[in-house]
Amino acid sequence: MYQTYSLHEKCHKIRLQSNRLGWGGFMIITLVSCAALFLMIFLTGGPKGTGAAFASDDVERARFEICNGPVRINCVVDGDTIWYSSRKIRIADINAPEIDNAKCAAERAMGNKAKYRLYALLNQGAFSLVSIARDQDKYGRDLRIITRGGVSIGNTLVDEGLAELWGGYRINWC
């Protein structure tokens, strides 16, 4: 028959064992216990009800291409617009440089870098589409924030200097 212990009893047993091993033993047991607890929480998706977001929460998945031609199912238009499951989606939390309506060659070049980086990021695995207060923009595009593991993919583009946080207007990239 197996003996079961409460969390409090388990911690008490660890404390007693570490007292016999001295300070160094205490530190080793503490570090190993914390690492084991972290792995258990991470691998099981976190404690229920905490809102902890892990990659396992991401359910959207597709193989993206660069948009080319009239048929657009899963493809990247530019650094802030994609087609996913035949729906046109504007990434709501960022603004990327223009490609087709660029005001200068530098903006067009940066826009192409942003497009190919977004393409690479989307093809790295599952992601989530997060709705915002406004469902669509004035062009009929769905407004969504794209996340992976609870982190905005748009923020990755911003951190890499390929986009800016959306502030309600476009900046001059030239």
| Residues 6+ positions from 17 with CB-CB distance below 8 Å | 25, 29
Residues 13 and 60 in one domain: no
Tens-digit pLDDT profile for residues 114-148: 999 999 999 999 999 999 999 999 999 999 999 99
Residue 112: both structure tokens together: 């192409």
- Same domain, yes or no: 102 and 147: yes
pLDDT classification of 23: cutoffs 50, 70, 90:
low
The verdict on 33 and 113 lying in the same domain is no
Opening angle at CA 170, ends 166 and 174, nearest 5: 125
Instruction: Tell me, yes or no, whether 122 and 155 share the same domain.
Output: yes
Q: Domain total for the chain?
A: 2
Q: Determine the length of the chain.
A: 174
pLDDT value for 125: 95
Shared domain for 160 and 80, answered yes or no, is yes
Q: Any idea which of 19-28, 79-88, 96-105 has the lowest mean pLDDT? A: 19-28
Checking if the pLDDT of 153 tops 60, the result is: yes
For 69-99, letters b (16+ CB in 10 Å) and e give eeebebbbbbbbbbbbeeebbbbbbbbbbbb
75 and 121: one domain?
yes
Give the CATH number for residue 138: 2.40.50.90
Are 94 and 144 found together in one domain? yes
| 170 falls within a domain | no
18 within a domain of the structure (yes/no): yes
Tell me, yes or no, whether 112 and 44 share the same domain: no
| Cβ 86 vs Cβ 77: under 8 Å | no
Same domain, residue pair 108 and 87: yes
Q: Are residues 19 and 104 in the same domain?
A: no
Q: Are residues 64 and 137 in the same domain?
A: yes
On whether residue 69 sits in a domain, the answer given is yes
Question: Are residues 160 and 79 part of one domain?
Answer: yes
Give the residue from 73, 42, 45, 60 showing the smallest Cα distance to 125: 60
Q: Picking from 2-6, 99-103, 153-157, which range would have the lowest pLDDT averaged per residue?
A: 2-6
C-alpha distances in Å from residue 53, one per residue of 20, 50, 91, 117 = 39, 9, 20, 23
Strands 65-66 and 75-78: parallel
- The domain in which residue 15 lies consists of 7-51
